[in-house]
């Protein structure tokens, strides 16, 4: 029986391994993590992450050929294929701080693999890493190899949160990069055979290591760039009376552009886009390509602009101050169908409003109050380190929450600011609200109160 061990039981490690286990009953899959609470949760009825369809998949194979354990070394030693799916956050200090990927967790996983292995291993990079990381990992492993043969593969993950199970069941493509040597090709083939249990062969792409590593960063950069492009248009729409939804629809009908990822928003969030673009920018700078670095940096600048433009719109429309005013925030995670708050634009919006002394009440059905408190107290980039390294919840910014706000109970004029273009603006206007929708023709009130980002 082939044995797979995945280091890192997070948003990627948990769902990807559960899907491998359910699709390959003859393979034993063990997911290991240094975080005991996380592993306990994977072994309980309340899984540590919320993803539609995940519960069913885990229940179908947990205890059969899918296991979750903190006994990291034992399972790594026994495995034939080791996936490494640990976090690769943005560095907060030292060389490349604020841009480069922090490979501390990756390096310690690699050193541990070198320490405990007694048989040949295929080591798969599942985490998103800078180009050439495989070379560094190879050095760590072979330097301490004790005659063991290691093959490093890059197999980046393209799942999106909220649709992880759907994406894993039917991936647009699976990408596997490996060394162009006989041993490298054999390792690529072994991993290909795992995916071939359910992914059509033509959707499994094989490349060299560096192409696979770079393709992951490039895919995220292209996706984020589309959002920044449409968000940049949304500002122009507001200034001209055009409607961004109509513009998106019209351009998306061009088959060369396509309709997806053209929804204007308060800005993209999530643990990947910003981190991976910053990483790309850093790699460009390190390779003496400042023009290319600046090009991609602009995607993040527009995203920051969009978030502050939204806050400024809120503040300016309420007579240039929200001090003492009650603002209800509906939704805090970075997108629907997830409880993940990493880099959610809601943090920037709430911090902007709190900075102007608003009284903020926040509700999200998938996010705990404790998590929201922690997010609003944390410094930029600190969120993507394992939970046990994060500060515990403070009480300083705790405010009374009130979910009962309806028009009749609100002070007038009453406002709704829609950062996702999800409310029925016309209906709300009929009730009497002043409504701001990103990139849509402005209500008279908002036109008279120009917001400067």
Ligand X SMILES: O=c1ccn([C@@H]2O[C@H](COP(=O)(O)OP(=O)(O)O[C@H]3O[C@H](CO)[C@@H](O)[C@H](O)[C@H]3O)[C@@H](O)[C@H]2O)c(=O)[nH]1
| Numbered residues of the known binding site for NAD(+) | 8-13, 33, 38, 86-90, 127-128, 161, 272-275, 342
Residue among 75, 335, 374, 440 that touches ligand X (CB under 6 A) = 335
- Closest to 354 in 3D by CA, of 331, 376, 374: 376
Judged by CB under 6 A, the stretch of 87-95, 146-154, 262-270, 432-440 that binds ligand X is: 262-270
Per-residue mark of binding to ligand NAD, 117-136 (x: CB under 6 A): ----------xx--------
| Complete edge-to-edge strand list for the sheet that includes strand 28-32 | 66-69, 28-32, 3-7, 81-84, 121-125, 150-154, 174-178, 204-208
Distance CA 363, CA 330 (A): 5
DSSP character for 152?
A: E
Based on the shown chain and the rule CB under 6 A, indicate whether residue 227 belongs to the binding site for ligand X. yes
Select which of 5, 24, 272, 284 is catalytic: 272
3-state secondary structure of 43: coil
Distance CA 400, CA 403 (A): 10
Based on the shown chain and the rule CB under 6 A, indicate whether residue 160 belongs to the binding site for ligand X. yes
* Token code pair at residue 262: 């053209």
- Residues in the interface with ligand X (CB under 6 A) total 20
Residue among 158, 210, 295, 363 that touches ligand X (CB under 6 A) = 158
Distance CA 252, CA 333 (A): 27
Helix ranges (H only) for 144-261 are: 164-169, 182-195, 209-240, 244-252
Per-residue mark of binding to ligand X, 269-308 (x: CB under 6 A): xx-xx-----------------------------------
Based on the shown chain and the rule CB under 6 A, indicate whether residue 261 belongs to the binding site for ligand X. yes
**Which CB, 28 or 157, lies closer to ligand X?**
157
Distance CA 449, CA 163 (A): 39
Dihedral angle over CA of 257, 263, 269, 272, nearest 10: -20
Q: Nearest residue to ligand NAD, using CB?
A: 10
Q: Which does 86 bind (CB under 5 to 8 A by kind): ligand X, ligand NAD, none?
A: ligand NAD
Active site residue 5: no
Summarize as ranges the residues that interact with ligand X (CB under 6 A). Answer: 128, 157-161, 220, 223, 227, 261-263, 265, 268-270, 272-273, 334-335
Summarize as ranges the residues that interact with ligand NAD (CB under 6 A). Answer: 7-13, 33-35, 38, 72, 85-88, 105, 108-109, 127-128, 157, 159, 161, 271-272, 386
Catalytic residues: 272
């Amino acid at each position: 029986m082939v044995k797979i061990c995945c280091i890192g039981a997070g948003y990627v490690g948990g769902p990807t391994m559960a899907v491998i286990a359910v699709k390959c009953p003859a393979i034993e899959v063990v997911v290991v993590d240094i975080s005991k609470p996380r592993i306990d949760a994977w072994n309980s009825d309340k899984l540590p992450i919320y993803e539609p369809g995940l519960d069913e998949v885990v229940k179908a194979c947990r205890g059969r050929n899918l296991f979750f354990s903190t006994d990291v070394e034992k399972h790594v030693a026994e495995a034939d294929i080791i996936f490494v799916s640990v976090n690769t956050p943005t560095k907060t200090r030292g060389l490349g701080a604020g841009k480069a990927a922090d490979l501390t967790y990756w390096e310690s996983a690699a050193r541990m693999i070198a320490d405990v292995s007694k048989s040949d291993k295929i080591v798969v990079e599942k985490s998103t890493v800078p180009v050439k990381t495989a070379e560094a990992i190879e050095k760590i492993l072979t330097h301490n190899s004790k005659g063991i043969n290691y093959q490093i593969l890059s197999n980046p993950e393209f799942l999106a949160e909220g649709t992880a199970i759907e994406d894993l069941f039917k991936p647009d493509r699976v990408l596997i990069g490996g060394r162009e040597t006989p041993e490298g090709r054999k390792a690529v083939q072994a991993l290909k055979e795992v995916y071939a249990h359910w992914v059509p062969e033509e959707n499994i792409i094989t490349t060299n290591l560096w192409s696979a590593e770079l393709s992951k960063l490039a895919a995220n950069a292209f996706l984020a760039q589309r959002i920044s492009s449409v968000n940049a248009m949304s500002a122009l729409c507001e200034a001209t009376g055009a409607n961004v939804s109509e513009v998106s629809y019209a351009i998306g009908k061009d088959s060369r552009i396509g309709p997806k990822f053209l929804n204007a928003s308060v800005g993209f969030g999530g643990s990947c886009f910003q981190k991976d673009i910053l990483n790309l920018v850093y790699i460009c700078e390190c390779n003496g390509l400042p023009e290319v670095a600046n090009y991609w940096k602009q995607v993040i600048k527009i995203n920051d602009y969009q978030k502050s433009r939204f806050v400024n719109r809120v503040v300016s429309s309420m007579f240039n101050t929200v001090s003492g005013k009650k603002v209800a925030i509906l939704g805090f995670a970075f997108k629907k169908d997830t409880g993940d708050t990493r880099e959610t634009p809601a943090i920037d919006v709430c911090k902007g409003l709190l900075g102007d002394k608003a009284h903020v009440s926040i509700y999200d059905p998938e996010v705990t109050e404790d998590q929201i408190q922690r997010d609003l107290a944390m410094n930029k980039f600190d969120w993507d380190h394992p939970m046990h390294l994060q500060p515990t919840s403070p009480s300083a910014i705790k405010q009374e929450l009130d979910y009962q706000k309806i028009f009749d109970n609100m002070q007038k004029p009453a406002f709704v600011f829609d950062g996702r273009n999800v409310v029925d603006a016309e209906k709300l206007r009929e009730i009497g609200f002043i409504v701001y929708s990103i990139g849509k023709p402005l209500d008279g009130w908002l036109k008279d109160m120009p917001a400067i980002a």
